[in-house]
Structure 1
């Protein structure tokens, strides 16, 4: 899927993992979106990528002029079988591309792919800090609603951080039985 500004949204590949690893490392070290305190290396990010894609979940990138500027994926919300129709989203944008609407483009594409795959609910677990308003605003802009708050559950960069839990119904949501076979 190409956008009018020559941004390509496509399935991520193993070749994208160095750029994905760098984007995520910057967020772990300098941002507030992740509760990780040590950036995972390329080998760990490769294992994570293979787990997500091997599980049949979408993992996508936004590319412009051959450069990966952001990525998004959905993974299992929980391991127990009854949760199999619910996914948790993650979206990360290169610092230089933030504020350009790229997150919204990625989220719309991820939501579409998850709905087409038969998932019925998407959960966002967003770290609460002074800089988390953009992520909450992004999720609201694509239809998520806040369903809960957990204050002070993580400690990073010298401060306690809570989380905001947001949710979006996909496709028929809970208004119909889930599709067979998943």
Structure 2
């Protein structure tokens, strides 16, 4: 028997091959956050507090703190978005907060995007950031700053760069978490 005949016989005929079912599409809707979303937002954020260096927070945020933050951002007219699955599960969120408290900074904000662990790597971060930029522009904001950990957040840096954020600086050894020093990368995007 020739080698090529042998190889053909080793392959199962199509009717006997196991067919993998197609992966269900990852579906979500982006909408404005509501006060009732804060327990799920808190859970997503606190996962990163406990398990990563993408946030320098070391203590979990309480529901009271999240409700106060929501009310503050709502009062200022700042975009605060959530992504929701068709079944109503919160998959992630994105928001902007004032960069600094002084009045002269009123058109400059810092963005934050956090995804539930099961929602990462499926295009949700890209969708949230794109919508957040558009909503920030519509709100009359002019500059968005991203402050990203210099270790463990490479995907976030790459995502922001794809949306036109440019690196404007780095700060080394400004945070200490999980027994190691961490720095930040600062990126900026103009919304003019």
Q: Answer yes or no: same fold by TM over 0.5.
A: yes
- Shift in Å, 1:82: 1.1
Aligned residue in 2 for 1:89: 111
The 3-state SS of whatever aligns with 1:79 is coil
Structure number with bigger Rg:
2
Aligned residue in 1 for 2:122: 100
Deviations 1:140-167 (A, max 9, x none): 1111110000000010011100000000
- Shift in Å, 1:9: 0.4
Structure 1 segments, 4+ long, off by >4 Å, are none
TM-score normalized by the length of structure 2 = 0.84
Deviations 1:114-149 (A, max 9, x none): 0011111000011121x1101101111111110000
CA–CA distance in 2 between the matches of 1:51 and 1:58?
11
2:65 matches 1:44:
yes
Unaligned runs of 5+ in 2: 1-24
- Shift in Å, 1:48: 1.2
CA–CA distance in 2 between the matches of 1:48 and 1:18?
13
Unaligned runs of 5+ in 1: 173-182
Asked if the contact 2:26–2:122 (Cα under 8 Å) also holds between the matched residues in 1, the reply is no
- Shift in Å, 1:5: 5.1
Q: Aligned residue pairs: how many?
A: 167
Asked if the contact 2:33–2:80 (Cα under 8 Å) also holds between the matched residues in 1, the reply is yes
More divergent stretch after superposition (48-57 vs 24-33): 48-57
Deviations 1:70-117 (A, max 9, x none): 000011011111111111100000011101110010000000000011
TM-score normalized by the length of structure 1 = 0.89
RMSD, aligned CA: 1.1
Aligned residue in 2 for 1:29: 50
2:8 matches 1:8:
no
Select which of 108, 116, 139 maps to 1:117.
Answer: 139
CA–CA distance in 1 between the matches of 2:94 and 2:75?
16
Decide whether aligned partners of structure 1 residues 106 and 52 sit closer, same or farther in structure 2, where only a CA change above 3 A counts.
same
